[in-house]
Amino acid sequence: MNERNQPREAKIERVTGETSVELTLRLDGSGQAALDFPVPFLRHMLHLFAAHGHFDLSIHATGDVDVDDHHLVEDIGLCLGKALHTALGDKRGIRRYGERHTPMDETLARAVIDLSGRPAFVLLGEIPAERIGTFPTELVREFFKSFANEARMALHLAILYGENSHHMVEALFKATGAALRLAVAPDDGGVPSTKGVLE
C-alpha cells in the first residue's frame, strides 16, 4: 500500500541471457529522464513520455542489439509496466482513468487508460514506414503491449490520422504519458472500484 505521504516510486531490475535492465520510476516527479541504453529512438520517445506524464524516469540497460532491438525494447516495456504497477500499490485514492488526444503537426493520436488490474492492449492505425532511422516501427506495438501487460492496465491507443511516421509514434508516446498522468492523479475516494479492489 502507498500512503499519501509516501513517494510513489519503484525500482525494477531484470537480467536475462538477452538483456539487463535497471529502471526507476517516480510518479510524482517533474518530468526528468536519465536514459542510458543503446536504442536512440526509444530513448527519445521515453523522454517525451516522462516529460508529458511529469514522471521521473531512470533507465540503464544493455542487450543483444547486435542481433536486433526487439529483446531490449520489449524488456524495457516490461520493466516500465512492472514499475508502474508496483509504484501504485493498492491504487487507493487514484482517478484510475485517463484520456488524452495529442496532436503532432499533421498527426492526431489518442490514448485511453484504465488502471483496472486487467491487462488489455489495442492499437488502431498503421505506421507507414518500416523503420524510423534504424528503429523498426513494429516494435512500437511490442513495447506498448509489454508495458500494458505488466502494468495490468487496459491501454487503448489510436493513430486517428497523419502522414509522417515519426510524428505518429511521437504523438502516441506523448498521449500515453499525459493520459497516465491523469489516471494516477490523486482523487478523494478510496479504491476506485465497486469491487473494492483493483488487482
How would DSSP label each residue in 148-177? HHHHT-EEEEEEEE-S-HHHHHHHHHHHHH
pLDDT in tens, the chain (199 residues): 345 567 899 999 999 999 999 999 999 999 999 999 999 999 999 999 999 999 999 999 999 999 999 999 999 999 999 999 999 999 989 999 999 999 999 999 999 999 999 999 999 999 999 999 999 999 999 999 999 999 999 999 999 999 999 999 999 999 999 999 999 999 876 665 555 555 6
Q: Which helix (H) or strand (E) holds 62?
A: strand 56-63
Distance of CA 13 to the CA centre of its chain: 17
User: Does some domain include residue 169?
Assistant: yes
User: Does some domain include residue 123?
Assistant: yes
Range of the domain at 27: 9-183
* Cell, residue 127: 505506421
pLDDT of residue 187: 86
User: Does some domain include residue 192?
Assistant: no
Q: How many domains does the chain have?
A: 1
User: Does some domain include residue 71?
Assistant: yes
Cβ-based neighbours of 17, under 8 Å, separated by 6 or more: none
User: Does some domain include residue 32?
Assistant: yes
How would DSSP label each residue in 26-44? ESSS-S-EEEESS-HHHHH
pLDDT of residue 2: 45
Q: How far apart are CA 157 and CA 162, in angstroms?
A: 14
